Amino acid sequence: MGRIKQYLNRQDVREAIHAQQDPTCFEDCSNAVGDRLYGDNNLASIDVLVDLLNNDIRVLLYNGQFDYICNHLGTEMTLDNLNWPYLQVQI
């Protein structure tokens, strides 16, 4: 991940993506973010997803092909168990 970190910390890239300049730089995995989300990471969001869909809110579920932190398996299981009559999955 070293190259990604170097790239995302470049000044021109930070400006292009409107990243804050202070107080920190990009990190692959942030303990500060994880600490603030602790307790929320095991809450199911499938009911929220169904509510969004039922209210005609368009949703995109995306996982990177080589994302080893947020892989596709959980998303696939969620879609396999989604109780929504209009579900169309395109791969």
pLDDT tens for each residue of 21-55: 766 777 777 777 777 777 766 667 788 888 888 89
Residue that wins the pLDDT comparison between 13 and 32? 13
Of residues 29, 57, 16, 41, the one with CA closest to residue 7: 16
Residue that wins the pLDDT comparison between 29 and 89? 29
Q: Is the pLDDT of residue 57 over 70?
A: yes
